[in-house]
Structure 1
């Protein structure tokens, strides 16, 4: 059967096998067709084959992709992902990606099944990604997930990690070399902004075409900013202005009013309309140290020298004029252990997992900090993981990151 056939042709084929009650020889003909024509799974049209494949367990997907090129291509299609979502076969999973000299490590935590981190090692599957490419990944990279695929975007390289098959492939790098930039997935594409002196270009990445294009220019350049998205809006949050040398932050800027404005503000870019909305400022000021999107809200963790505050911004534009778009609300701050000092040596990241917010300490060795300060706390390690439930309004603690996962970048993917 041709690979271009569809379900209508398949239905016609099935009907042709049914006996005709008005034909005396139908039994013989039907028997003849039964022995001479065999319908296999591979002979099914694409839509019926996808319906069957979408019901298999996720652990079997790597094997399915090896059957033939056609199956491998179908497993990459958005239709396959949508079928699995329709059948309830998708789960939210938190990924923490770390790098070694010759490989990448991924620690996975599935919220719907258990609370145990599972570590896997994956290598590149083609010559486009060599071990040296892993150097610097992903401590200064940004992660964005589109369906089950995670895009690891570095200064001069981009990798795609397929969470179903475990394969890593090289993709096209950004047009501009950026560091500590904002990145977020919006409507199936990835947007990046900031990350260098005088870099105002906002780039858009199309995964289907593997191509970067400049779609607009920001009104100000940011360094150390964070990206998030809700309802078709790309949020560029926090960050500072680079000094004239471009190599380090200007000391004057970090203490001036302009730097303060950058550090506690958000720029909003409407992707569909290709226009910038009115910027918003985090109440109470401070410096944004982590942010994410979850359940239609933007969550911003701000530092005030010796304490942290957590704010929630209503980003649900589709709720209408009465939906509260743009409203800020302060919520319970994360209960960090007393030994953790909020300074430049400790770095956090926020990840939205469904409706919940996960706060991960991704760098800064607490034991080293305590030794330098002459203190010691038994059992206190880096890799602290906290989760906030907006329904209960409470924080809880999950298992720490595995010891080999350090200076990680985190993201949530459906797989």
Structure 2
């Protein structure tokens, strides 16, 4: 890709600024006046801020071709300012995104929730740098249209606009079963680890510099925790304690406290706020952020409970309040055991609960029945406005052990 604009790679946007020799109107003689007309400035010579104003208004379908014009355009399209302008113009749409790794690359599926007939669109992306085979237990975090798939030893960036995959810098501390969330355009991870080693380091990833750094250490080491972010606070929720407790009673008490609690890290002040606990106990199995709240799904061995935590710190007085909501209506054949796990994703004013069966054969064998209608993954949508659940289209069959996120594109 050239550093400057090349006429052979002009997009329709640039061509529209140039006269067409075959157009009769463009061949009309120009009458010279006493004052010569001002010199026409090509779009490629505009400063970055004006060029961004132009590029931010193009249709989403044209963005992949714009990235191929030159390196300058590609750099501007990757900038957070481009996303800010499109968001201000109302040109970004929110979608539920699921991704899974296969030997040949990554299967990516996108569900347009706002569509009249929501359906999954599946694509296969190949990473030329390699590394997609090591994405076991990966977590996903999205910044605009770019989804970062973070695993123990590898990080991949998937661009929902262009369908391309790039290998990025891995975390400083290799970890799995960790919490992840996005705050102000940067990714934060906490908890997790490998084997009996659980790290207390909280890392921050800057996508523009492609660099990880440790920003703080957590007081409690959590394994299998979940992340969410609202109003500049990184929530590290649930998980297990792996420590040096000697007595069985102490280990059991600590495990119960960790499984139903959340630690709050204020990113701007670099301070830990007072920890909170989910009412009713239970084990947090999924959580996400949506419209200023943290939504938590807890398991109580034979049933699920669904909670909302007011995370708005704008002075309204509601910060820290819990509300119990209607539980998700799971199909009768879904049992709450080790074969099933859940993901929660906030998609504007909706909360998507994605149920993934780890091994469908094990589930059928334990149930003692042959359920032909049982799918490996189902998707339930909770409307935060009317408080009702509805079932969305199931995940496509090729999307297994999916990492989920919300993309803006």
- Band of TM-score, shorter chain: 0.7 to 0.9
Closer, same or farther in 2 for the Cα pair 1:251/1:340, shift >3 Å?
Answer: farther
Match of 2:310 in 1: 314
Q: Of the candidates 146, 149, 154, which is equivalent to residue 149 of structure 1?
A: 146
Match of 1:27 in 2: 33
Q: Distance in 2 between matches of 1:210 and 1:413?
A: 20
After superposition, what is the alpha-carbon deviation per residue over 1:117-145, rounded to whole angstroms, capped at 9, x for unaligned? 000111125xxx21xx11242x4111111
After superposition, what is the alpha-carbon deviation per residue over 1:303-326, rounded to whole angstroms, capped at 9, x for unaligned? 0111100111100012x0x43100
Q: Distance in 2 between matches of 1:176 and 1:254?
A: 28
Match of 1:46 in 2: 48
**TM-score for both structures, normalised by structure 1:** 0.86
Q: Distance in 1 between matches of 2:47 and 2:310?
A: 44
Q: Distance in 2 between matches of 1:220 and 1:46?
A: 45
Residue 96 of structure 1, CA deviation: 0.3
Q: Distance in 2 between matches of 1:62 and 1:369?
A: 42
Check if 1:262 corresponds to 2:258.
yes
Residue 251 of structure 1, CA deviation: 11
Find the residue that maps to 1:317 and give its secondary structure: coil
Find the residue that maps to 1:413 and give its secondary structure: strand
Match of 2:216 in 1: 216
Match of 1:10 in 2: none
Residue 368 of structure 1, CA deviation: 4.2
Match of 2:236 in 1: 236
Match of 1:363 in 2: 357
Name stretches of at least 5 consecutive residues in structure 2 with no aligned partner.
5-30
**TM-score for both structures, normalised by structure 2:** 0.87
Match of 1:400 in 2: 394
Q: Distance in 1 between matches of 2:302 and 2:246?
A: 23
Query: Is the 2:138–2:149 contact (alpha carbons within 8 Å) kept by the matching residues of 1?
Result: yes
After superposition, what is the alpha-carbon deviation per residue over 1:135-162, rounded to whole angstroms, capped at 9, x for unaligned? 242x411111112211111111111111
Match of 1:302 in 2: 298
Q: Of the candidates 168, 185, 193, which is equivalent to residue 188 of structure 1?
A: 185
Q: Distance in 1 between matches of 2:361 and 2:118?
A: 25
Match of 2:201 in 1: 201
Deviates more, 1:305-314 or 1:365-374: 365-374
Residue 112 of structure 1, CA deviation: 2.7
Find the residue that maps to 1:323 and give its secondary structure: coil
Residue 49 of structure 1, CA deviation: 2.3
Find the residue that maps to 1:371 and give its secondary structure: helix
Q: Distance in 2 between matches of 1:381 and 1:301?
A: 21
Q: Of the candidates 123, 130, 138, which is equivalent to residue 126 of structure 2?
A: 123
Q: Of the candidates 278, 283, 289, which is equivalent to residue 282 of structure 1?
A: 278
Check if 1:329 corresponds to 2:320.
no
Find the residue that maps to 2:61 and give its secondary structure: helix
Q: Distance in 2 between matches of 1:383 and 1:407?
A: 9
Residue 102 of structure 1, CA deviation: 2.3
Q: Distance in 1 between matches of 2:181 and 2:201?
A: 15
Find the residue that maps to 2:331 and give its secondary structure: coil
Match of 1:90 in 2: 92
Residue 42 of structure 1, CA deviation: 2.3
Check if 1:107 corresponds to 2:103.
no
Number of residues of Structure 1 aligned to a counterpart in Structure 2? 376
Residue 41 of structure 1, CA deviation: 3.0
After superposition, what is the alpha-carbon deviation per residue over 1:188-212, rounded to whole angstroms, capped at 9, x for unaligned? 1111111023411111111111111
Closer, same or farther in 2 for the Cα pair 1:350/1:383, shift >3 Å?
Answer: same
Match of 1:11 in 2: none
Match of 1:79 in 2: 81
Name stretches of at least 5 consecutive residues in structure 1 with no aligned partner.
4-24
Query: Is the 1:253–1:259 contact (alpha carbons within 8 Å) kept by the matching residues of 2?
Result: no
Q: Of the candidates 255, 269, 272, which is equivalent to residue 273 of structure 1?
A: 269
After superposition, what is the alpha-carbon deviation per residue over 1:237-276, rounded to whole angstroms, capped at 9, x for unaligned? 00001266xxxx9995896111000100000011111111
Q: Distance in 1 between matches of 2:352 and 2:246?
A: 32
Match of 1:179 in 2: 176
